Amino acid sequence: MRVIRVSDYEELSLRSADLIASLIILKPDCVLGLATGGTPLGTYRDLIRLYREGRIDFSQVSSVNLDEYRGLKPDDPHSYRYFMDQNLFQNINIDPAHTFVPDGCESDPASACSKYDAIIDRFPLIDLQLLGLGGDGHIGFNEPSDCFIRRTHCVTLKEETIRANSRFFQDKAEVPHQAYTMGIADIMKASRILMIVSGSSKAAILRQVLEGPVTPAVPASVLHLHRNCTVIADEDALQCCDRLCKDSQFILP
Ligand code: F6R
């Protein structure tokens, strides 16, 4: 696992956008695994800027998102499909037919999950999977558990996740309690993983991820087992990792 220490959120966004842009330039028909939430907003803003400057072309790119709230329609402003359309897809030249998000309207979880697995299986691989880090260590919506769940599944969100995500809703009571999420095996199958972590609210959990054991109780800890995982984290997020090297880049064994 390679950790890149950056000064702040702006630098984090720039570095992650540059990394994704480099992949698009080298492999124009790449498959991107994408995340929602607050952390990738700056990355998406910088990717849109690079696109507008004519430096990247999304016309052959495909994307597969990590998760979606169960029960929300694509045009619901709180759905992750809507988030992706607003914050990235409508601002670049990606073919909407090549962008995939789990179907939150599919009320039968078994059907929703098997359909999304079939979509993931259409791609030989995800070239780069972008991840944020949940306050309880979740990636996608793979919540702390006693086992890693391999494929797309319906998850009941933890109280901490509902509380954290209530900032995107008028009222906490509006936050859906369930979601469909890509599983850990499909995340781990990506050729390259990029996790971005910003802010002091993530400092304690980032320390557990970077310094603690691999355990499904801290889902992101599984990334230690990936052969090509980069974590970009800012000073605030790394403030509890005092045992780790202070260099701007370091490799964890
Ligand atoms: C969302 C997702 C989640 C978020 C995580 C962090 O698609 O996959 O795992 O990345 O909840 O969210 P923020 O960035 O809002 O702190």
CA distance 80 to 35: 9
* Domains identified in the chain and CATH numbers: 2-123+136-185+214-230 (3.40.50.1360)
Q: What is the pLDDT of residue 187?
A: 98
Structure tokens at 131: 């991840």
Residues in the chain predicted with pLDDT less than 70, given as ranges, are: 245, 253
pTM listed for this prediction? 0.97
Q: What is the pLDDT of residue 133?
A: 98
**pLDDT digit string, tens, across residues 179-222:** 999 999 999 999 999 999 999 999 999 999 999 999 999 999 99
From ligand 1's centre to the CA of 133, what distance in Å? Answer: 6
What does the radius of gyration of the chain's CA atoms come to, in whole angstroms? 17
Question: Is the separation of the CB atoms in 112 and 101 below 8 Å?
Answer: no
Q: From the CB of 132, is ligand 1 less than 6 Å away?
A: yes
Q: What is the pLDDT of residue 253?
A: 62
Name the residue type at position 141.
F
- Catalytically active residues are 67, 136, 138, 143
Q: What is the pLDDT of residue 162?
A: 96
Q: From the CB of 143, is ligand 1 less than 6 Å away?
A: no
Q: Is the dihedral of CA 227, 228, 234, 237 positive or negative?
A: negative
